[in-house]
Amino acid sequence: MAIKKNIKLDKKDYLRALLCDTQPGDCPIIFSNDGLYINLTEHDRVCNDSLSFNPVSSFLKKIVNPNLDTSISVEKQAQAKKKQSSPFGYCIVKDAFSQRHLSLIHPRSQINYSEFYK
How far is CA 81 from its chain centroid?
Answer: 14
Count: domains in the chain: 1
Flag whether 75 is in a domain: yes
Flag whether 113 is in a domain: yes
Flag whether 1 is in a domain: no
Residues of the domain holding 98:
31-117
Flag whether 44 is in a domain: yes
Q: What is the pTM of this model?
A: 0.65
Flag whether 112 is in a domain: yes
* pLDDT tens-digit map of 8-50: 777 778 788 777 766 666 666 667 778 888 888 877 666 655 5
Mean pLDDT, the chain, as a whole number?
Answer: 77
Flag whether 13 is in a domain: no
User: Which of 47, 12, 35, 8 lies closest to 110, judged by CA?
Assistant: 35
Flag whether 18 is in a domain: no
SS3 per residue for 29-65:
CCCCCHHHHHHHHCHHHHHHHCCCCCHHHHHHHHHHC
